Amino acid sequence: MDNTRDGNFRLQGRPRPRRRMRMFVAAAFGAIACGSAGPAAATISDGEVRVGLLADMSSVYANISGHGSAAAARMAVEDAGGEVAGRPIRLVIADHGNDVVRAVETARRWLDEEGVDVIADVVASPAALAVQELNRSRGAVVFYNGVMTSDLTGSACAPTGIHWMYDGYAFTTAIGRELTQRGARSWYFVTVDNAFGQNVQADLTKVIAASGGNVIGAARHTLGQEQLFAQLRQAAQSGADAIALVNAGDDMIRAVRQSYDVLSVSKGQTVLAAVATTLNDVHLMKPQLAQGLKLAHAFYWNRDPEARAWSERFRARTGAMPNDMQAGVYSALTHYFKAVAASGSDKGTTVVAKMRELPIRDPIVRNARLREDGRMVHDTYLMEVKKPAEITIPWDYLRILRTIPAEQAFKPLAEGGCPLVKH
């Protein structure tokens, strides 16, 4: 029996009661039927575990989330056998289109009317922060994979909000600290002129200074600006050892492509680093133009045999290798299913408590654990785009320069500012 179903959905029959009432009814029924049903079945609300994948299927992040995240979610359900704690898993998928209002409306309907127990992906920081606030009083488990902001586990942390994969602090640490210590002492930024650019630039400046380097200048550009060569030339003429691209998506891809016309960059005399990239970005920008680019990732498909085997399964479904956001969807849901099975419950706080107890080990993450603030810490990788002649198999565009251990990569728990953490 296929217990997964894609797209926005409405359950058939009578309207479902709100979440608290459903849990009460399920508990009451379980108490009556305990003689014939196991304890796990009695604490699974509505007789099934409902998973909502809230992704960007049609807007700016569709290439890095979208159908790849959906494929990863399906793989997690299938690898769990389509059921957990003796109850079927139902997967539903919705497109938030990088629209905060749509993301919140979908999450509200899922949680209040349709009994979704866990939400995954929620790519993009604004949507993630809004869904975090909506869910704060509802208590479902929500996983955030494609999100840069550390506020989710800082000032905006929540008991059942889990930041699983992508992380701005870890990536700026990998880029700023590691490259500065490798000799890139002076830096120049090419930064998108919005809140993302300003925040990441500020964080990266602190990391570089703490590592013994200095920032000698910055050039800004508007979101979606087509020509960035003037800013790149200004950065190169500054004499900086490294140029940091503090932008993302199409802006970052254009900047990398246009930087090839800056001789100091194309000759390898100036380090070019990008703080927010995915494997899909490298595929689009072409390795011949991106060779030598330094970047940070949370997962790489060709890291080891286990990651490679899982990624080949993913590629058979999608035609592409997974990025770290998409792989994170699989990892998060896989650990969630293990916790539901071990606890015999789909209640958010119960599942999260069990997720902290259980070891996190799958084809995706290494050296991982779930902290009290909701941050899943794991090894992070400083990487480099290979030269075209070094690429011998499809999609193997990157090499790992250094593995940054989990405890060195992420913001220390005491510095995060999460009100839930006792000091």
Identify the structural domains of the chain with CATH numbers, from first to last: 19-167+305-377 (3.40.50.2300), 169-297+380-408 (3.40.50.2300)
The pTM score is 0.87
- pLDDT-based confidence at residue 393 (cuts at 50, 70, 90): very high
Q: Look at residue 4 in the predicted model and tell me its pLDDT.
A: 43
Which pLDDT belongs to residue 25?
32
Tokens 């049903």 -> residue: 37
Token pair for residue 250? 């199409």
- Gap between the Cα atoms of 416 and 284, Å rounded: 35
DSSP string for 282-336? HHHH-HHHHTT-EEEES--TTSSHHHHHHHHHHHHHHSS---HHHHHHHHHHHHH
Q: Report the pLDDT value the prediction gives residue 423, as an integer from 0 to 100.
A: 66
Distance (Å, rounded) from C-alpha 319 to C-alpha 97?
A: 22
Cα angle 341, 347, 350 (rounded to 5 degrees) comes to 70
pLDDT at position 30: 35
Whether 14 has a pLDDT exceeding 60, the answer reads no
- pLDDT tens per residue across span 45-102: 999 999 999 999 998 888 889 999 999 999 999 999 999 999 999 999 999 999 999 9
pLDDT for 223 equals 87
Q: For the chain, give the mean pLDDT.
A: 89
pLDDT for res 165: 92
Task: Return the pLDDT at 268.
Answer: 86
Burial category of 267 from C-beta neighbours within 10 Å (exposed 0-12, middle 13-18, buried 19 and up): exposed
Q: What is the pLDDT of residue 7?
A: 42
For 231-284, what is each residue's pLDDT tens digit?
999 999 999 999 999 998 889 999 999 998 898 888 889 999 999 999 999 999
* Per-residue confidence band for 149, with pLDDT thresholds at 50, 70 and 90: confident
Q: Which two tokens stand for residue 79?
A: 């690898």
Residues whose CB falls within 8 Å of the CB of residue 226, separated by 6 or more in sequence, listed in order: 254
Residue 18's pLDDT band, with cuts at 50, 70 and 90, is very low
Q: Which two tokens stand for residue 141?
A: 């488990």
Confidence of residue 150 (pLDDT cuts 50, 70, 90): confident
Give the tokens for residue 405. Answer: 């251990």
Quick count: other Cβ atoms within 10 Å of Cβ 401?
16
Q: Which pLDDT value is given to residue 15?
A: 36
Which parts of 195-228 fold into alpha helices (H)? 195-210
Closest CA to 66 of 52, 76, 56: 56
